[in-house]
Amino acid sequence: MNAGIWGMGRYIPDQVITNFDLEKRMDTSDEWIRTRTGIEERRIAGDEVGTVHMAAKAAQKAIEHAGIHPEEIDLIITATVTPDHSFPSVSCEIQHEIGAVNAAAMDISAACAGFMYGIITGKQFIETGAYKHVLVIGAEKLSNLIDWEDRNTAVLFGDGAGAAVLGPVSEGRGILSFELGADGRGGKHLYEDKYVKMNGREVFKFAVRQMGESSISVIEKAGLQKEDVDFLMPHQANIRIMESARERLGLPPEKMSVTVNQFGNTSSASIPLTMVEELENGRVKDDDVIVMVGFGGGLTWGAIAMRWGR
Ligand code: UT7
Enter the pTM of the model. 0.97
From the CA of 155, how far away is ligand 1's center (Å)? 10
pLDDT in tens, 7-43: 999 999 999 999 999 999 999 999 999 999 999 999 9
Phi, psi of 74 (to 5 degrees): -95, -25
Whether the predicted pLDDT of 56 surpasses 90? yes
Ligand 1, atom 38: nearest CA belongs to which residue?
A: 152
Residue 1: band (very low, low, confident or very high) from pLDDT cuts 50, 70, 90: confident
**Virtual torsion, Cα 97, 100, 106, 107, nearest 10 deg:** -50
Is the Cβ–Cβ distance between 82 and 140 less than 8 Å? yes
Ligand 1, atom 36: nearest CA belongs to which residue?
A: 152
**Spatial CA neighbour of 210 closest among 180, 250, 168, 175:** 180
Q: Is 235 a catalytic residue?
A: yes
Q: Average model confidence (pLDDT) for the chain? A: 97
Measured from the CB, is residue 260 less than 6 Å from ligand 1?
no
Q: Is 281 a catalytic residue?
A: no
pLDDT in tens, 207-220: 999 999 999 999 99
**Considering 19, 112, 189, 238, which one is annotated as catalytic?**
112
Domain 2-169 classification at class level: alpha beta
The domain segmentation of the chain, as residue ranges, is: 2-169, 174-307
Which numbered atom of ligand 1 lies nearest the CA of 265?
1
For 134-170, the DSSP string reads EEEEEEEEGGGG--TT-HHHHTTB-EEEEEEEEEEE-
Mean of the pLDDT values across residues 266-295?
A: 97
Architecture per CATH, 174-307: 3-Layer(aba) Sandwich (3.40)
Which pLDDT score is estimated for 197? 96
Measured from the CB, is residue 242 less than 6 Å from ligand 1?
no
Residue 204: band (very low, low, confident or very high) from pLDDT cuts 50, 70, 90: very high
Do 2-169 and 174-307 share a fold? yes
pLDDT in tens, 120-171: 999 999 999 999 999 999 999 999 999 999 999 999 999 999 999 999 999 9
pLDDT in tens, 140-153: 999 999 999 999 99
Give the H or E element holding residue 201.
helix 200-221
Looking at the DSSP assignment, which residues form a beta bridge with residue 140? Answer: 160
Q: What is the C-alpha to C-alpha distance for residues 134 and 165, in angstroms, rounded to an integer? A: 6
